[in-house]
Structure 1
Amino acid sequence: MTTLVMPPLAPLLALLLALIFWFFPASSLFAKLSLPLAMLSVAALWICATPAFSAWLGGQLGKPVEDPQAVPQAVVILGGGRYRDEKSGNERLSATTLERVTRAAEMAPEPLPILVSGGRVYERERASEAELMAALLQKLFRRSVTWRENCSRTTAENAVNSAAVLHDSGIESVVLVTHWWHMPRAAKVFARAGIQVQPLPVGSAEELLPRAQTGLLRWLPSAAAMLRTQVYWRELLARVWYYWRPLPPVREC
């Protein structure tokens, strides 16, 4: 459902609707609306694909509220997706998850125990995302993982399931590792689950507009800008959704 209200599909559907209106009788209201609707759709599609708009939209995400009194007792790394090679059957972490694991391995305080969070989205998946992350940390960075939270499929479930594991070990405060655009929502939902957060984001809002994309170049569409717009738009929609939704129960595998 989210895809229906996001670019590029939403403007394209509006453009298709304008085409349908074009075939109505010339005197009808629908026929008169076809051209303005088509122009609006093309303009929206163009704007959403520009670096200037994606940078502005990313700037609306803000920053998480950090508790200065929090003393981290563990590191939590949130999964950001994985994929399965249908030919070989091998399962690999997405680039987003790889960036989070690398960030944690390089920047998180080494003495702190690590929890990795991420389950199976589809039944055909053999290993959970947490298991793949733990294997990568051990093999590539020689960092052992203390807890594997294997059941969560959403950010809210990440928080609730991780909080249950951490509270059982007497841990109330963590270093949270995820992307900067995901951090405000993730930190807030972890706080609702009873865990204090010290953010360790991947990237920053300052990287939104590359130096090369200045002047008129900011308003020229690109696939990269459209992809960033999709990510930020989805995050803003998710934030609104989480505001009205109560926390889910702990999810069992």
Structure 2
Amino acid sequence: MQASSFGWLLDLILLPLAGPLLLAAFGLVLLVRKRRSASVLLLGCGIGLIWLLSLPWVSNRLCGALESEALPPLTEARLQSLMTGGRPPGAVVVVGAGARAAPAEGAAGLQPDAITLERLAQAAWVVRVSGLRLMVAPGAPAGIATADAQSLAMAASLERAFGQRAAWRQTARGDTTRGAREAAAALRAAGITRIVLVTHAWQMHRVAGAWRAAGVEVTPAPHGSCTGRNEIGAELVPSVTALDTSRQALAEWAAHVGRFWADLFDGGEPDPPKPASG
């Protein structure tokens, strides 16, 4: 099993809302079977997990443990200073998160999901300020959203919505580590060994680590830090936003498990990136 498939399976089955609801459902099954103690335990765990994960206090700390790589933010002044320094980056790389079906409007029948669109907006800003060329790198394949289809949808949305054209489309089939190796090889062939990396703050540590392991010098351009969003006192009020933040953080921890799985079982040579016009 590919690491990307393993991570997607964890996301689908174990993360909220599906995971806690499955616990509660098993509790109801046991209740029907007259196993009251086990039923109450599972129902309590399922409902309790949903409540805990919907608290901003919990979601902020789940994300905060992932965001050390994301600081400080890449401001316009810092980016301009970087470009005029002695070792400027040679390209911008934006990492996708996923896609949704859009047969009537999206390239390859897909549209980038909301998280990916936020990253594309950040990447477009970096490109405007820096003048660098851009590579789009898709998220993990899931269903019809193959890596090739996702990168095509990202490139199309980038040009249509933000007026920027991607110079490269990464189409690796595997996980983040495999994709970084593939993309780094393509950039080295163009004489590029330093990049500005765009992704969400809670993902930056793992993704930047994969690129550095591939021999690339990384300047993080994090987007959307999920810590410190709430006023004091509101952190104990459940919210849908906090539940989604918790899901994102847990999905990132699951991706770390997927990377360990890849180190043990994944193999094979990566595919070369395709030109953005492909």
Shorter-normalised TM-score: what interval?
0.7 to 0.9
Of the three residues 112, 117, 129, the one matched with 1:98 is 117
Say whether the 8 Å CA contact 1:180–1:202 is kept in structure 2: yes
Q: Is 1:35 the equivalent of 2:34?
A: no
Of the three residues 126, 139, 156, the one matched with 2:177 is 156
Say whether the 8 Å CA contact 1:157–1:251 is kept in structure 2: no
TM-score, normalising length from structure 1? 0.80
Say whether the 8 Å CA contact 1:152–1:161 is kept in structure 2: no
Aligned partners of 1:16, 1:144: CA distance in 2, in Å? 47
Say whether the 8 Å CA contact 2:173–2:179 is kept in structure 1: yes
| Pair 1:102–1:251, CA change in 2 (3 A) | same
**Residue type of the alignment partner of 1:227:** D
Q: 1:153: Cα distance to partner?
A: 6.1
**Residue type of the alignment partner of 1:8:** L
1:174 match: 195
Say whether the 8 Å CA contact 1:121–1:153 is kept in structure 2: no
Map of 1:179-190 to 2, 5 A cutoff? Answer: 179-190=200-211
Of the three residues 228, 235, 253, the one matched with 2:252 is 235
1:130 match: 151
TM-score, normalising length from structure 2? 0.74
CA RMSD of aligned residues (A): 3.2
Q: Is 1:118 the equivalent of 2:138?
A: yes
Q: Is 1:18 the equivalent of 2:35?
A: no
**Residue type of the alignment partner of 1:224:** T
| Pair 1:13–1:71, CA change in 2 (3 A) | same
Aligned partners of 1:88, 1:132: CA distance in 2, in Å? 10
- Which of the two has greater helix per residue? 2
Say whether the 8 Å CA contact 2:96–2:137 is kept in structure 1: yes
Identity rate, percent: 28
Q: 1:82: Cα distance to partner?
A: 2.3
Aligned partners of 2:222, 2:251: CA distance in 1, in Å? 18
Say whether the 8 Å CA contact 2:175–2:259 is kept in structure 1: no
1:143 match: 164
**Residue type of the alignment partner of 1:112:** L
Aligned partners of 1:65, 1:100: CA distance in 2, in Å? 14
Q: Is 1:8 the equivalent of 2:17?
A: yes
Map of 1:198-213 to 2, 5 A cutoff? Answer: 198-206=219-227, 208-211=228-231
Aligned partners of 1:142, 1:23: CA distance in 2, in Å? 58
Q: Work out the number of aligned pairs and report it.
A: 244
Q: Deviations over 1:122-165 (max 9, x none)?
A: 5688x733333334444454434322224456433431221121
Structure 1 residue runs of 4 or more that deviate by more than 6 Å after TM superposition: none
2:54 match: 49
Aligned partners of 1:237, 1:188: CA distance in 2, in Å? 16
Of the three residues 221, 228, 237, the one matched with 2:238 is 221
| Pair 1:33–1:161, CA change in 2 (3 A) | same
**Residue type of the alignment partner of 1:117:** A
Q: 1:20: Cα distance to partner?
A: 2.7
Unaligned runs of 5+ in 2: 1-8, 72-81, 274-278
